[in-house]
Amino acid sequence: LNRLLADPTVGTLIVEHRDRLARMNMGLVESALKAQGRRIIVVDDTEPDDDLVRDMTEVLTSFCARLYGRRAARHRAEKALEAMRDERV
């Protein structure tokens, strides 16, 4: 995503669902791209009309991503430590 956003030759980003591009602050991403003459096309733009429901969904998604990210980081650290121990022997 960072490479796509940084590449000025990419004029249009196409995503299936809005939350696949940005979990939160999608409006900011859209505004920044629009200021550069770029745009985002969302294929399935169905989302809850209620702002509270949308906000809660975004917050829960963010918490889940953070939790899974921590697990992955812990597993990578454990594997690195295991590899160091195996190398010493």
Q: What is the pLDDT of residues 6-63, one digit of tens each?
A: 998 999 998 888 777 776 778 888 898 999 999 999 888 776 567 787 788 788 888 8
Report the number of secondary-structure helices (H) and strands (E) in the chain: 4, 2
> How many domains does one find in the chain?
2
Are residues 84 and 54 both part of a single domain?
yes
Q: Which domain holds residue 61?
A: 49-89
Report the distance separating Cα 11 and Cα 82, nearest Å: 45
Are residues 20 and 62 both part of a single domain?
no
Phi first, then psi, for residue 41 (nearest 5°) are -110, 125
Mean pLDDT across 51-76: 80
Report the distance separating Cα 29 and Cα 35, nearest Å: 10
**Do 18 and 46 meet the contact criterion of CB atoms below 8 Å apart?**
no
The pLDDT of residue 17 is 81
Query: What CATH number did the domain enclosing 24 receive?
Result: 3.40.50.1390
Are residues 39 and 60 both part of a single domain?
no
**Do 6 and 36 meet the contact criterion of CB atoms below 8 Å apart?**
no
The pLDDT of residue 47 is 65
The pLDDT of residue 38 is 94
Are residues 41 and 53 both part of a single domain?
no
